[in-house]
């Protein structure tokens, strides 16, 4: 499938931008790498693996607190949402501990962070031996005989829906990029409109929404700094006053590129924007089983996670709706904790691709079957698969993630209508 020039950045422009950005970021930190490694999305190798603390959130001894008590921060009351249906979530515990509310921080506040977030890792990262094994086996790309699947990948760009008050519209632009319209706001997730990203083959399906067809963008959420989720050429197309919500430690990267309204959050922290219907849209940053890296020597210098977006506050008596965007993640205990702290998730946008070989990628990328379990754990009624069918980042056949997630959903006994396996460019509206 070819990509129309007016829908994406050209390969030449993106290659130049990606190489220039990599050189700029490498020069920004003069600390030498202790081991020369390749920088790719899936196979970059850190100098050392870290072991998380007992709670997964404690700072290393002697390190500055990642969040700390902000003088302007305040604790929010939990948003009361209808409980998930019993079959959509984990069984409740006999005596569940009280749900701690998120901590609200002002939009755009500059904050200080530790030099590393390696203590947040939930599994050791691959070492040099793993990288050598991948190079020897050539196991990070689909077998040539499976590339015929590319022509079968569903791609049906259509017009963006206009949600009515109380409705939330989700449109899949491809990979982890979504156009979310809720509370009168338009929000992009991990926007990548480039034809290719550094270190990977070009995309095999075009963006599901032409850039010129986007409504004015009110906010962007970024899950982590890997090149297929944080795309500098795409961000450069946005006005510099666009509000960016990013993980702790990533604000400096954004401000160096001219963005003036950048909000950095730690896990279980939130910020809010006024919505168009008298309410507020809350952006809460939640954990993920992943990592971060963009150059040879910035492993885990910024945090990684997902986002829960919720319309909250007073105003017209409209149904509350909540969307969970998982970003990149492996399967693990954080999903049930997200479901406990953020009850009533309506739709979970979950990754189902880039999972082979499992011996290497299991800690950081869910398989389709694990994604279905994650949807159950967070208590979401609807699941929308993502992170497949755009960039061929790993060894599974291009159509396999979609086929396996459909089979896993049926095996779990979930209603077929609640699996939003959208073609690239398609939309669904909550509340209709």
Confidence (pLDDT) at 18:
54
- Phi, psi for 309 (deg, rounded to 5): -110, 130
User: Is beta strand 280-286 parallel, antiparallel or unpaired with respect to 269-274?
Assistant: antiparallel
Query: Does the pLDDT value for residue 338 go beyond 50?
Result: yes
Query: Does the pLDDT value for residue 336 go beyond 90?
Result: yes
Tens digits of per-residue pLDDT, 35-82? Answer: 333 333 433 333 333 333 333 443 333 343 344 434 444 444 444 444
Query: Does the pLDDT value for residue 30 go beyond 80?
Result: no
Confidence (pLDDT) at 199:
81
Tens digits of per-residue pLDDT, 373-422? Answer: 999 999 999 999 999 999 999 999 999 999 999 999 999 999 999 999 99
Average pLDDT over residues 139-159: 93
Rounded-to-integer distance, Cα 401 and Cα 355, Å: 9
Confidence (pLDDT) at 316:
56
Q: For the chain, first and last CA: distance in Å?
A: 33
DSSP 8-class letter at 359: H
Confidence (pLDDT) at 83:
47
Confidence (pLDDT) at 138:
77
pLDDT band at 15 (very low <50, low <70, confident <90, very high): low
How many residues appear in the chain?
432
Confidence (pLDDT) at 323:
98
Is pTM, for the whole model, over 0.75? Answer: yes
Average pLDDT over residues 16-33: 51
Confidence (pLDDT) at 317:
66
Query: Does the pLDDT value for residue 85 go beyond 70?
Result: no
Task: Name the residue among 335, 336, 329 with its Cα closest to residue 352.
Answer: 329
Torsion sign over Cα 125, 129, 132, 136: negative
- H or E stretch at 285: strand 280-286
Whether a cis peptide bond, with omega within 30° of 0, leads into 357 is: yes
Average pLDDT over residues 3-21: 50
Query: Does the pLDDT value for residue 308 go beyond 50?
Result: yes
Is residue 263 within 8 A of residue 248, CB to CB? The reply is: no
Confidence (pLDDT) at 29:
46
Rounded-to-integer distance, Cα 267 and Cα 327, Å: 14
Instruction: Please list the alpha-helical segments (H only) found in 116-184.
Output: 128-137
């Amino acid at each position: 499938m070819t990509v129309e020039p007016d829908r994406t950045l050209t390969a030449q422009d993106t290659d130049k931008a990606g190489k220039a950005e990599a050189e700029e970021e490498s020069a920004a930190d003069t600390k030498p790498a202790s081991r020369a490694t390749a920088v790719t999305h899936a196979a970059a190798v850190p100098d050392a693996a870290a072991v998380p603390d007992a709670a997964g959130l404690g700072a290393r001894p002697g390190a500055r607190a990642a969040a700390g008590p902000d003088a302007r921060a305040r604790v929010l009351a939990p948003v009361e949402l209808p409980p998930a249906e019993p079959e959509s979530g984990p069984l409740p515990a006999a005596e569940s501990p009280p749900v701690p509310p998120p901590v609200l921080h002002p939009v755009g506040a500059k904050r200080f962070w530790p030099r590393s977030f390696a203590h947040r890792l939930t599994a050791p990262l691959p070492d040099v031996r793993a990288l050598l094994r991948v190079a020897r086996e050539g196991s990070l790309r689909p077998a040539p005989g499976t590339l015929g699947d590319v022509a079968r990948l569903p791609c049906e760009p259509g017009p963006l829906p206009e949600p009515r008050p109380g409705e939330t519209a989700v449109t899949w632009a491809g990979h982890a990029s979504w156009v979310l319209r809720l509370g009168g706001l338009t929000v992009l997730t991990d926007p990548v409109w480039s034809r290719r990203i550094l270190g990977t083959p070009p995309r095999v399906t075009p963006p599901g929404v032409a850039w010129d067809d986007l409504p004015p963008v009110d906010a962007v959420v970024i899950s982590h700094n890997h090149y297929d989720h944080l795309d500098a050429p795409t961000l450069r197309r946005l006005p510099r006053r666009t509000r960016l919500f990013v993980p702790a430690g990533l604000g400096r990267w954004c401000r160096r590129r001219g963005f003036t309204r950048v909000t950095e959050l730690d896990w279980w922290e939130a910020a809010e924007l006024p919505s168009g219907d008298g309410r507020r849209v809350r952006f809460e940053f939640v954990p993920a089983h992943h990592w971060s890296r963009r150059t040879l020597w910035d492993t885990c210098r910024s945090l990684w996670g997902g986002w829960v977006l919720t319309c909250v506050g007073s105003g017209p008596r409209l149904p509350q709706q909540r969307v969970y965007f998982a970003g990149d993640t492996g399967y693990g205990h954080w999903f049930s904790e997200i479901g406990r702290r953020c009850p009533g998730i309506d739709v979970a946008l979950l990754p189902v691709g880039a999972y082979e070989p499992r011996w290497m990628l299991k800690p950081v990328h869910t398989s389709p079957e694990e994604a279905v379990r994650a949807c159950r754990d967070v208590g979401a009624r609807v699941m929308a698969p993502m992170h497949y069918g755009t960039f061929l980042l790993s060894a599974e056949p291009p159509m396999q993630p979609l086929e396996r997630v459909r089979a896993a959903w049926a095996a779990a006994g979930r209603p077929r209508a609640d699996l939003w396996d959208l073609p690239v460019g398609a939309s669904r509206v909550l509340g209709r």
